[in-house]
Amino acid sequence: MRELTPFFVMEILARAKELECLGRDVIHLEIGEPDFPTPAPVIAAATEFLRAGRVAYTPAIGLPSLREAIAAHYLERYGIDIPPHRIVVTPGASGGFLIALGLILAPGQRLLLSDPGYPCYGNLVTLFGGNSRLIPVEAETRFHLSVDAVLQHWDADTVGTILASPANPTGTVIDPPMFERLITAVIERGGHFISDEIYHGLEYASSSPSALNFSDQAFVVNSFSKYFGLTGWRIGWVIVPEAFARAAETVAQNLFISAPTPSQHAALAALGPECRTELEGRRQEFQARRDYLVGALRALDFGIPAIPEGAFYVYADASAHTNDSFEFARRLLEDQAVAVTPGKDFGRYRHERYVRFAYTTSISRMAEAIERIRRSL
């Protein structure tokens, strides 16, 4: 447990809450949580289910109707026919990573991870007795692992890699040919490829392919938290290769019994046609927010080496203003009541110069935040 790293942003968030209790108006650009309410059809479906009064366990891998709906989603969006028995419904994407890592990782084995990247990956690897190798990535590869980097760091203890596209914290999308080459290189070496696709649907150019478009041996983790906006419902899924389907069910039985039943009924409604127009409108609003924030930050001399093409983050180079991004974030909160995430949450490589801004609040609130940042600078 001593090897696990905390979310440093939680220190920022805790202090922000203290300031709010003291009457300060804090603008939150730190947490990756959409500010839109749960769609009305989702609330209606969950309410109807609860009123029936029978909230029982589901099968360990999820409601058959929900797994069939997820399979239909993959056929419609990606043109991939996924058997529902390969889909495991989980308590959020975190549950999906627990299952995937539990299936592929033995103590002492290693996964290759990008630096910067989502910090939970390495912590979950540690919990399974494995270790991570953080590979520095630059804007030249849109902050994604390249085939050359993976091959350079691959050794006898390596069992695979995790890649997110769109990514956290950068919001960047990997080039599809590069994505395919990377998956192929990992699987040809007998490794496992875990694709984090929780920001799929929140792209602002073209839609991203799934790793399953390139190999049915990939593990794919997704969630209803980001595009669908069901963060607190804690519901996601993992798709496993055929050879792992039975073992995945066993792991799910032991880890979770099942995902929360009301949340599964909510997720089923989220995939329905009634929500599509609203969710697409939200995606367009996020794109407008991104366009505003990128321009506003550049006007304040923040560097943005790679334009985010998805998710709802801008990973900004603050080195024109600071050589300690954590202290910069702390000072910005104390002086101007603007909360942002320091780069040290996402790895070691040049973390002191980067700050992540989440555009999960309105443009008017972001405009006020920009004015406050201008005053602070």
For residue 356, the SS3 value is strand
Tokens of 163: 């890649």
Q: How far is CA 12 from the centre of its chain?
A: 20
Residue 3 belongs to some domain of the structure: no
Query: Could you give the count of Cα atoms lying within 13 Å of 94 in the half-sphere of its Cβ?
Result: 16
Report the distance separating Cα 260 and Cα 31, nearest Å: 24
pLDDT range class, residue 125, cuts 50, 70, 90:
very high
3-state helix, strand, coil in the chain (%, to 5): 45, 15, 40
Tally of domains in the chain: 2
Does residue 303 sit in the same domain as residue 349?
Answer: yes
For residue 231, the SS3 value is helix
* pLDDT of res. 327: 96
Residue 4 belongs to some domain of the structure: no
pTM of the model: 0.96
Chain mean pLDDT for the chain: 97
Does residue 189 sit in the same domain as residue 333?
Answer: no
Does residue 213 sit in the same domain as residue 230?
Answer: yes
Express each pLDDT in 183-231 by its tens digit. 999 999 999 999 999 999 999 999 999 999 999 999 999 999 999 999 9
Q: What is the CATH number of the domain that holds 56?
A: 3.40.640.10
Residue with tokens 């009634």: 274
26: amino acid identity, one letter:
V
Does residue 22 sit in the same domain as residue 63?
Answer: no
**Considering only CA atoms, which of 140, 139, 191 is closest in space to residue 162?**
191
Express each pLDDT in 315-354 by its tens digit. 999 999 999 999 999 999 999 999 999 999 999 999 999 9
Q: Is the pLDDT of residue 7 over 90?
A: no
Residue 87 belongs to some domain of the structure: yes
Within 10 Å of residue 207's Cβ, how many Cβ atoms?
12
Q: Which domain holds residue 314?
A: 9-38+276-376
Does residue 267 sit in the same domain as residue 281?
Answer: no
Within 10 Å of residue 254's Cβ, how many Cβ atoms?
10
Tell me if the bond preceding 169 is cis, omega within 30° of 0.
Answer: yes
Beta strand segments in the chain, E:
27-28, 87-90, 110-115, 131-136, 158-164, 192-196, 219-223, 236-239, 313-317, 338-339, 341-342, 354-358
